[in-house]
Amino acid sequence: MRFTAGTAGPFLSFVLVALAGCFSLSRDTPPLQQYVLGGARGPEGVASAQGMAGLTIGVRQLDLARYLTTPAIVVRRGAHQIVHSEFHRWGEDPVVGINRAIAGYLAAGAPVRAADLAPWPVRSRYDYLIQLHITRFEGVAPADSAATEGEVHVLASWDIIRQQDETVLARGTTDYRERGWRVGDYAGLVTLLDRGVQALSQDIATCLGRLASATAQGGEVELVPDRDPALTCAPHSD
């Protein structure tokens, strides 16, 4: 699947689908709610990063923590309990959905030539490949079941790779938390998780832009983030 700066918009729709009655077991059973990522537009999206003009980017299949590879939206209660909602689910495989949203935000927020999702045609060539590893992607609720305010937590590491020889050029970490989630509000939770995806996409775009600028100038540059939280993007060396 390909995303370009000119065509990414139609793919970036935030959808809440209520399948009322289709899965009802009784008149009192709640309808199934399904959600997708990738809906922020304008100033809430990803800002353009200097140096990304004309780049081609390949986004490899996401490495997602096993407990997150479920259609159910995950909430962590306290330190150890994982809760799955029967009636609030992702509308697509979360591996595909997160990757699609990231590629779409990268294409919409910067003048890249293309941002493609794996699998791509065998002979495709890209300036950079992105490999993502996500270990937290969930709502976090207090252990006290009476508490009503929680947060979201998106924790990801990522590699920027040169396709020709599989060299890792830079590595980064995004640790995104945002409070203000009302426990039980799954539409609100997905909105905040989508902001986490935007923050992750912005970190990747910032690092890509600086890496591409350094390469174009034939030199090296220290890849230090302009924003907090916890982006650590630096030339990788073993």
pTM, full prediction: 0.81
Which residue ranges make up each domain of the chain? Answer: 2-235
Residue 153, helix vs strand vs coil: strand
Task: Look at residue 19 in the predicted model and tell me its pLDDT.
Answer: 38
User: What does the pLDDT look like over 192-218, one tens digit per residue?
Assistant: 999 999 999 999 998 888 888 877 766
Contact 196/141 with Cβ under 8 angstroms? no
Distances (CA, A) of 155 to 162, 193, 229: 24, 11, 11
Task: Look at residue 147 in the predicted model and tell me its pLDDT.
Answer: 87
Taking the chain (238 residues) in runs of 10, the rounded mean pLDDT of each run is 59 42 57 90 61 88 96 94 93 96 87 89 93 97 91 96 91 94 96 95 89 70 45 54
Task: Look at residue 29 in the predicted model and tell me its pLDDT.
Answer: 79
Burial class, 20, CB count within 10 angstroms (exposed 0-12 / middle 13-18 / buried 19+) = exposed
Architecture of domain 2-235: 3-Layer(aba) Sandwich (3.40)
User: What does the pLDDT look like over 9-50, one tens digit per residue?
Assistant: 544 344 444 333 444 445 677 899 999 999 776 555 566 667
